[in-house]
């Protein structure tokens, strides 16, 4: 480190330069330089600072929203609750015929995601018998209309279930009618056979 005479004159008489007993300039440790952070440490510190700012904004977000934004947040929150209750009602009434609920989301001014639409899949399957099909159709219709405010799609599903139930009832009635006719035919044929046997005795020879 070289210091010229003019530089010393400019510094002034109050400047103190530490010398050792040999009158050699002592270079003291640079505390500022030693306190400098590595690039990785600087990056971590900046990330942490940004995270703290974001969290602080999130906490105070409500205070920063305009009246219109606050009203929109309330509407979205109400819609979210309504949608989730609607789909939960379908699931509860559908039993094993309903699948998992899926939702459509919208981000509010507060940064949160709100459900604004949803759906639950319902399996409408025919049974192995007309009676089983009728039971399945009735449960599907009940599940479709379980929510307090059924949507047009809910009405459409319920209508399809009732059509399936009606066809199953027609099939059941036909089977019962055929069974009844079969019994009547058997009874009639059996009665005729008895009468025929009474007029024509069989000879049994030994």
Domain count, the chain: 3
Residue 14 banded pLDDT, cuts 50, 70, 90: very low
Per-residue pLDDT tens over the stretch 24-72: 444 444 454 445 556 667 777 777 777 676 665 554 555 588 999 999 9
With respect to residue 48, please indicate whether it lies within any of the assigned structural domains.
Answer: yes
117 and 88 part of one domain: yes
Per-residue pLDDT tens over the stretch 87-122: 999 999 988 888 889 999 999 999 999 999 999 988
Residue 125 banded pLDDT, cuts 50, 70, 90: confident
pLDDT for 40 equals 65
C-alpha to C-alpha distances, 139 to 122, 163, 173, nearest whole angstrom? 10, 13, 21
Residue 139 reports pLDDT greater than 70: yes
Residue 76 belongs to domain spanning: 67-123
100 and 137 part of one domain: no
83 and 117 part of one domain: yes
149 and 133 part of one domain: yes
| Lowest-confidence pick of 20-29, 115-124, 131-140 | 20-29
Q: Is the pTM of this model over 0.85?
A: no
Residue 6 banded pLDDT, cuts 50, 70, 90: very low
Q: What percent of the chain has pLDDT over 90?
A: 43
C-alpha to C-alpha distances, 70 to 20, 57, 60, 65, 150, nearest whole angstrom? 71, 16, 13, 6, 29
């Amino acid at each position: 480190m070289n210091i010229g005479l003019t530089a010393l004159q400019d510094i002034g008489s109050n400047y103190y330069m530490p010398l050792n007993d040999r009158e050699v300039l002592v270079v003291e440790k640079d505390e500022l330089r030693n306190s400098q952070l590595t690039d990785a440490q600087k990056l971590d510190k900046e990330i942490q600072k940004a995270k703290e700012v974001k969290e602080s904004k999130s906490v105070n977000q409500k205070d920063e929203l305009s009246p219109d934004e606050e009203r929109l947040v309330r509407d979205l929150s109400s819609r979210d609750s309504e949608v989730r209750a609607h789909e939960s009602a379908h699931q509860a009434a559908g039993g094993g015929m309903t699948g998992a609920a899926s939702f459509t989301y919208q981000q509010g001014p507060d940064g949160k995601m709100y459900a604004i639409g949803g759906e639950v899949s319902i399996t409408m399957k025919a049974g192995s018998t007309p009676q089983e099909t009728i039971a399945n159709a009735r449960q599907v219709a009940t599940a479709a209309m379980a929510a307090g405010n059924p949507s047009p799609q809910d009405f459409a599903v319920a209508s399809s279930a009732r059509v399936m139930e009606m066809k199953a009832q027609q099939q059941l009635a036909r089977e019962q009618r055929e069974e009844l006719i079969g019994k009547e035919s058997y009874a009639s044929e059996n009665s005729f056979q008895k009468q025929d046997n009474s007029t024509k005795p069989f000879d049994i020879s030994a």
